[in-house]
Amino acid sequence: MLNLFIKALIMAVLLGASVAQAAEVRLLNLSYDPTRELYQEVNTAFAKQWLQRTGDTLKVQQSHGGSGKQARAVIDGLPADVVTLALAHDIDAIAEKGKQISANWQARLPNNSTPFTSTIVFLVRKGNPKAVHGWADLVRPGLQVVTPNPKVSGGARYNHLAAWAWALREYRGDEQLAKDYLKKLYANVPVLDTGARGATLTFAQRGIGDVLLTWESEALLVQRELGRGQFEVVVPATSILAEPPVAVVDRVVDRRDTRKLAEAYLLFLYTPEGQAIAARHHFRPRDPAVAARFSHDFEQLQLDTVTQLGGWKKLHAQHFADGGIFDQATAR
Over the window 191 to 230, marking each residue x when it contacts other proteins by CB under 8 A and - when it does not, the resulting string is ------xx--x-----------------------xx----
Give CA–CA dist 74/85, Å, rounded: 11
* Residue nearer to other proteins on the CB measure, 135 or 231: 231
* Residue nearer to other proteins on the CB measure, 2 or 331: 2
Give CA–CA dist 270/116, Å, rounded: 8
Give CA–CA dist 82/258, Å, rounded: 10
Can you name the residues that pair with 285 across neighbouring β-strands?
116
Three-class secondary structure assignment of 260-275: HHHHHHHHHCCCHHHH
SS3 state of residue 171: coil
* Residue nearer to other proteins on the CB measure, 65 or 236: 65
* DSSP count for the chain of H helices, then E strands: 16, 11
**Cβ-contact 125, 210 below 8 angstroms:** yes
Q: Indicate the length of the chain as a whole number.
A: 332
Q: How far is the CB of 68 from other proteins (least distance, A)?
A: 14
Applying the rule CB under 8 A, the residues between 14 and 33 that interact with other proteins are 15-17, 19-20, 22, 28, 30, 33
Binding-site member from 25, 41, 45, 62 for other proteins (CB under 8 A): 62
Q: How far is the CB of 64 from other proteins (least distance, A)?
A: 7
Residue 102 interacting with other proteins (CB under 8 A): no
CA dist 86 → 91, 120, 304 (Å): 9, 12, 16
* Residue nearer to other proteins on the CB measure, 13 or 289: 13
Binding-site member from 41, 45, 49, 61 for other proteins (CB under 8 A): 61
**Cβ-contact 192, 185 below 8 angstroms:** no
Residue 36 interacting with other proteins (CB under 8 A): yes
Q: How far is the CB of 301 from other proteins (least distance, A)?
A: 27
Over the window 253 to 272, marking each residue x when it contacts other proteins by CB under 8 A and - when it does not, the resulting string is --x-----------------
* Residue nearer to other proteins on the CB measure, 195 or 244: 195
Give CA–CA dist 200/204, Å, rounded: 6
* Residue nearer to other proteins on the CB measure, 4 or 331: 4
Beta strands per DSSP E along 53-184:
58-64, 82-84, 116-125, 145-146
Binding-site member from 41, 45, 79, 310 for other proteins (CB under 8 A): 79
Closest CA to 197 of 235, 239, 154: 154
* Residue nearer to other proteins on the CB measure, 216 or 287: 216
- Cβ neighbours, 10 Å, residue 205: 10
Binding site for other proteins (CB under 8 A): 5, 8-9, 11-13, 15-17, 19-20, 22, 28, 30, 33, 36-37, 59, 61-65, 73, 75-79, 97-98, 100, 197-198, 201, 225-226, 255
